[in-house]
Structure 1
Amino acid sequence: MMATTHALWGMALAVPVLAVAPEFAPAAVLAGLIGGLAPDLDLYAGHRKTLHYPVYGTLATLLAIGLALVAPSTLTVAFAVGLAAAALHAVTDAAGAGLELRPWEGTSNRAVYSHYHDRWISPRRWVRYDGAPEDLGLAAVGAGVVVAASLEVASVIALALLTVSAVYVLLRKPLATLAERLAAYVPEPFVPYVPARYLEA
């Protein structure tokens, strides 16, 4: 799924905090946003493996939620929401396509790596590829939850992310071709840092 979809759903995870402990909501929303994006920092270093933990992340989230319930504070609540967003990101990557330049072709059997199982989880392709119309639909749901919560700054961020998502959806397939062409011009010393899917296309 799109990074923006993960970010929006991470922010949406913070909405229950608004109902239970509104004083922690701003920090929780920020943590959800960061947690939703953070796993994709491994884009150029073992994407969907280095920072993606679908099993361990979920277990860590349960422990963090327990801590936040026992000792609620800005730090513990934000930590729990951030971990939950990162875990949700890793888990939902398995619902999408595999690691490939053109995921709509369905040639990859690697969706996300499970360190617990020591193997790649196969893509379910419920969301056919990042930037598919159904991906935009999920982003819209996440944004809708945040906007409905009437968190002013968060609503502006959510709508901005949704706008970026819509533009990306329109350009998704041409961007794959552009990335492939640009990869051919990467100077030799930097080639090891280019994701293999761009070079193997």
Structure 2
Amino acid sequence: MMALTHGFASLAVAVVVLPVIGDHVGGPLLLAAFLGGLAPDADLLASHRKTLHYPVGFSAVALLLFAAFSLTGWSALLLLTVAVGAAALHAVSDVLGGSAEREPWNPTMDTGVYNHVLGRWHRPRRYVRYSGAPEDFLVCLAFATVAVSSAVTPAAADVTLFWLVALAGLYTLCRKRLAAISTGLGNLVPTQVRTLLPTVRIEETETDGTTVDIRFGR
């Protein structure tokens, strides 16, 4: 699923749950939920859905942090709980999507999300076939609607969320043609400048999933 889908999912859960558990709600917590939902996908530059995806570890740490917050009432602990809980939701829900490979719409691998405790990959359920699939955008839109329609998010944030949904829609439209678009844009760049741009190579293995290798200079 798209990183934005995960971000909106975490934000939707936050705007529903946080007001219920008390008065601890505000901009920093909502931002922590959204950014925590995005964070695991930073491993696109390493082993995707393995390096920063900890479905068990994040969940356990989030529970411990919430227990500590319940005992102390420290707002900083709640902030950490929300961020780590959002990352846990991301890692756990990735198993519902497609595989971590270059063209997940033509699946050849069963790398859903890596479980560091068991030392193996969970197979993808493919309810959402791949990041940027039409159903992925619909899920993203549904969670965004929950967040925007909530009285918890301020008007300025709603405008930002609207543009992020538009960005997700554009990504969905271009998803299967990203490689061709990138090549086409690259061909428009003068040869002298092109040698200064980074080269991107995608590597796939059964043990490490998809790794994006970025190198400068040719």
- Normalised by the length of structure 1, the TM-score is 0.86
Cα distance in 2 between the residues matched to 1:72 and 1:148: 29
CA offsets 1:63-114 (integer angstroms, 9 cap, x no match): 1222222323331111111111101111111111112221111212111111
Aligned length, in residue pairs: 199
Name the CA shift for 1:124/1:179 in 2 (closer, same or farther; >3 Å).
farther
* Larger Rg, first or second structure (1 or 2): 2
- Alignment-derived partner of residue 3 in structure 1: 3
Name the structure 2 match of 1:163. Answer: 166
Q: Is the 8 A contact 1:43 1:195 kept in 2?
A: no
Change (3 A) 1:97 1:181: farther
Return the alpha-carbon distance in structure 1 between the equivalents of residues 117 and 6 of structure 2. Answer: 22
- What secondary structure is seen at the aligned counterpart in 2 of 1:104? coil
Unpaired runs of 5+ residues, structure 1, are none
* 1:24 Cα deviation after fit: 3.1
Q: Please report how far the alpha carbon of residue 55 of structure 1 lies from its aligned counterpart in structure 2 after TM superposition.
A: 1.1
Q: How does 1:68-147 map to 2 (within 5 A)?
A: 68-147=69-148
Other-structure match for 2:207 = none
Farther-moved stretch of structure 1 (44-53 vs 16-25): 16-25
Residues 107-142 of structure 1: CA distance to partner in whole angstroms, max 9, x if unpaired?
Answer: 121111110110111111010111111111111121
Check the 8 A contact 2:102/2:202 in 1, yes or no.
Answer: no
Tell me the C-alpha RMSD between the 2 structures. Answer: 2.9
Select the structure that is richer in strand: 2
- Which residue does 1:196 correspond to in 2? 203
**Identity across aligned pairs (percent)?**
37
The answer on whether the counterparts of 1:146 and 1:154 sit within 8 Å (CA) in structure 2 is no
Instruction: Verify the 8 A CA contact 1:98 1:106 in the aligned structure 2.
Output: yes
CA distance in 2, matches of 1:23, 1:111: 34
Deviation for aligned residue 1:160: 2.0
CA–CA distance in structure 1, aligned partners of residues 202 and 83 of structure 2:
27
Please state how far the C-alpha of 1:23 moved relative to its aligned partner: 4.6
Answer 1 or 2: which has greater helix percent: 1
Q: How far did residue 182 of structure 1 move?
A: 8.5
TM-score, normalised with respect to structure 2: 0.80
